[in-house]
Amino acid sequence: MASDELPVRPAGSAVKAVVEGPNSLAVAFGRELSMASRSVHADDYINNHQAVAPPMHVSTTFRYNRDPEQLRPWDNLNPNAPYDSHVYSRDSAPNTTRFEAILTSLLGAPSLSYASGLAAFHAMIVFLNPKRVAIGGGYHGCHGILHIMKRLNGLEQLELEDDADLAKLEKGDVIHVETPLNPTGEARDLAYYRKMADEKGCYLTVDATFAPPPLMEPFKYNVDIVMHSATKYFGGHSDMLAGVLAIRPDRAEKWLPELREERLHLGGVMGSLEGWLGVRSARTLELRVKRQSESAQKLVDFLAEKKAAGDNSNIIAQSVFKIQHASQQPEAKDENSWLRKQMPNGFGPVFSLWLESEEKAKRLPSKLQLFHHATSLGGVESLIEWRAMTDPKVDRRLLRVSIGVEGWEDLRDDLVQGLERLKEEGF
């Protein structure tokens, strides 16, 4: 949390703009609008120009008021654009502010943007400043940051699934849950970890990158901070790096200005081009994510059915060792389970395929026409990654699959023909 030396803005002022602005539509309609409408209009209150599409502002600095009586430190209210007033782009800038307005509306909590998902995770750990972080597998980059923190201040990394480790947690420590998990796409029970965090006086933070809106609402579980790699679904087109922290609404009045102050000093802000791209991408978030998750489900169901048909009956059964996805967890079949409650709108567009051998997994991507062999996920184009390329700890038979917006039958046929070609070549 911000130390006493940092010149924190008066609590409330920044939050007021962030909360009231995006809320203005709900006030006008007397009800919350649909996610689809908010994706397109949540930032309208910022727009003071006739242009329908947002302008791209590259300025790093903004003229102060010409009236000397109006000069106040870190305050530069433009009377013509009260919600679009800025001082210096390491603090705030027009394009990123609009992106944050939409994020705030879609995530249901005041949100700040960062240069990348890892910049957001780093900012979160610096801010909460725990002595211990309990974290399971998940994205290896977050472990990398904890490793750096260990070198800097002795931060201890604990295993989320180890009772002896969990017993070491103390007040002020962090339980960090990634759900669904990278790279398997399997989900974790947020209510369970909230209870544990409450019992131990810990903060609960969630990396929800794999289940953006409308798939999951982590604040229903009183999560303290939700982070996303916005590079993935919020960006959605494999062309921008960004991260986001959304702050539990009842904590935001105090935490949001402090986090913003710390971001000003850490310097991990998004660039304006990325902010512009983020706004553009957010407009179609719901359309993309629903479609991607539905297509992934159809593919996973197809693969699981073929695999279940038996050892040698078809090319899938001959080649696939294991399929991992939240929909394959036993709780997915029980409509009263924590999993169905936590992910009522689909289990996400990423799953993992383990092939029978490392050789098969290494070679399949080069046999595919539609899936690009590349790391990352969340874009409109389907990706497949032999995960050993970027994660040295993962099983070498594992392929991570991220489904895009192509027709799912085409993706199915691509996978089948790829496996058949591998077989023809003796793999």
Ligand X SMILES: Cc1ncc(COP(=O)(O)O)c(C=O)c1O
Q: Which is nearer to ligand X, 231 or 238 (CB)?
A: 231
The tally of CA atoms less than 13 A away on the side-chain side of residue 56 is 10
Which residue from 89, 116, 292, 297 is in contact with ligand X, where contact means CB under 6 A? 116
Is residue 274 within the footprint of ligand X (CB under 6 A)?
Answer: no
Answer for which of 100, 178, 217, 391 binds ligand X (CB under 6 A) is 178
Report the nearest approach of ligand X to the CB of residue 337 (Å). 23
Residue with tokens 């609009």: 98
10 Å CB burial of residue 297 (0-12, 13-18, 19+) is buried
Least CB distance to ligand X at residue 324 (A): 15
Of the candidate residues 85, 89, 92, 182, the single one contacting ligand X (CB under 6 A): 182
Minimum separation from the CB atom of position 12 to ligand X (A):
30
Q: Least distance from C-beta 117 to ligand X, angstroms?
A: 2
Q: How far is the CB of 156 from ligand X (least distance, A)?
A: 21
Q: Does 141 bind ligand X (CB under 6 A)?
A: yes
In a 3-state reduction of DSSP, which class is residue 157? strand
The answer to whether the CB of 390 falls within 8 A of the CB of 182 is no
Question: Of the two residues 256 and 270, which places its CB atom closer to ligand X in the complex?
Answer: 270
Q: What angle do CA 127, 92, 34 make, to 5 degrees?
A: 85
Does position 207 interact with ligand X (CB under 6 A)? The reply is yes
**Six token digits for residue 125:** 């750990």
Q: Give backbone dihedrals phi and psi of 70, rounded to 5 degrees, phi first.
A: -95, 5
Taking contact as CB under 6 A, which single stretch among the options 7-15, 113-121, 391-399, 419-427 is the one that binds ligand X? 113-121
Reading the block at residue 68, the tokens are: 């000397």
Q: Between 209 and 319, name the residue whose CB sits nearer to ligand X.
A: 209
Q: Pick out residues in 120-139 that bind ligand X (CB under 6 A).
A: 139
**Any contact of residue 118 with ligand X (CB under 6 A)?**
yes
When asked if residue 117 is in the footprint of ligand X (CB under 6 A), the reply is yes
Per DSSP, the three-state class of 351 is strand
Rg (CA), the chain: 23
Q: Which stretch binds ligand X (CB under 6 A): 28-36, 70-78, 110-118, 357-365?
A: 110-118
Contacts of 162 (CB under 8 A, 6+ apart): none
Q: Does residue 229 touch ligand X according to CB under 6 A? A: yes
Residues with Cβ within 8 Å of 241's Cβ and at least 6 positions away in sequence, in order, are 115, 116, 231, 235, 274
Cα 377 to chain center, whole Å? Answer: 11
Binding mask 238-267 for ligand X (x = CB under 6 A): ---x-x------------------------
Q: Is 351 in the site for ligand X (CB under 6 A)?
A: no
Q: Which is nearer to ligand X, 92 or 229 (CB)?
A: 229
Backbone CA torsion sign across 424, 356, 316, 301:
negative
Closer residue to ligand X in complex, CB, 392/426: 392
State which residue, 15 or 240, has the beta carbon closest to ligand X.
240
Task: Scan for tokens 């399949």, then name that residue.
Answer: 364
Whole-angstrom Cα distance, residue 97 to residue 166?
38
- Within 10 angstroms of residue 238's Cβ, the number of other Cβ atoms is 18
Provide the binding-site residues for ligand X, judged by CB under 6 A.
Answer: 116-118, 139, 141, 178, 182, 207, 209, 229, 231, 241, 243
